[in-house]
Structure 1
Amino acid sequence: MNLRGLQTIVLLIISNTFMTFAWYGHLKFKEYSWGKSLGLVSIILISWGLAFFEYIFMVPANRAGFKGDGGPFNLVQLKTIQETITLIIFMLFTTVFFKTEKLAWNHLVGFMLIVLAVFVIFKKW
């Protein structure tokens, strides 16, 4: 893998970390004294603030990785990488921050099928 491919993946990991916190992190706010009284509008604004950082990393990741801009990946491959990273980050986030959520065998089988999808998409047929 070349430098642009590695740069794309690193930026996508950072971007998806912000995205996961923006989409699901607010579910933990009620556990903190400062978050108990937040209304929906406040939570949305905080999530948008986090999503802003997601885009700061997502846009350069896609530009660096896209074949049309000199990167190593076509659009389908970029989306597949992004979705795979999203699921990995989500799994880590869920097991670290939501201790009551448990990964079951069917989740693992589903994730393995996604890895199989990555293989199928990247394989030169």
Structure 2
Amino acid sequence: MPFALNPTAVWPIVLLCLSNVFMTFAWYGHLKVKAAPLFVVVLASWAIAFFEYCLAVPANRIGHQVYSAAQLKTIQEVITLVIFAGFSVFWLKESLTWNHLVGFALIAAGAAFVFKG
């Protein structure tokens, strides 16, 4: 029997990944634009965050049919770490050191306990 994924289980993860890309840019993307006044940065971040909400809210509504609220939050946090790690390297040009990776791994290991039966 071939492996089949439940779309109701997969779509929330896809939507959370996309929403997190928007949120990461809203929160940290402006760090490369030092000359912009703070109020402009705040307004631009709000505009970007609108699209994050347009993806995150449906992700949680659909996802709660399959996952508990704690599981959804845990999925979102792990996604946040993965996307932020890539963002900080490729957009901010910051390096990830071993202590960052160990810290992220420990958080991910802790997250695994939320899914234990």
Taking structure 2 as the reference length, the TM-score comes to 0.92
What is the one-letter code of the residue matched to 2:67?
F
Matching residue of 2:43? 45
Q: C-alpha distance in 2, partners of 1:98/1:26?
A: 10
Greater relative contact order: 1 or 2 (C-alpha under 8 angstroms, separation 6 or more)? 2
Amino acid across the alignment from 2:114: I
Aligned to 1:64: 62
> What is residue 11 of structure 1 aligned with on the other side?
15
CA-based RMSD of the aligned residues comes to 1.0
CA deviations on 1:45-89 (whole Å, 9 max, x unpaired) are 0000000000000000000001xxxx2100110000000001111
Pairing 1:96–2:100 present? no
Q: How many residues align?
A: 113
TM-score by length of 1: 0.86
Q: Find runs of 4+ consecutive structure 1 residues off by over 6 angstroms.
A: none
Percent identical residues: 54
C-alpha deviations, 1:71-109, integer Å up to 9, x for none?
A: 21001100000000011110000000122x211111111
Structure 1 Cα separation of the partners of residues 116 and 52 of structure 2? 29
Amino acid at match of 1:87: L
After TM superposition, give the deviation of residue 12 of structure 1 in Å.
0.1
1:118, distance to aligned residue in structure 2 (A): 2.2
One-letter code aligned to 1:91 = A
* Equivalent residue, structure 1, for 2:73: 79
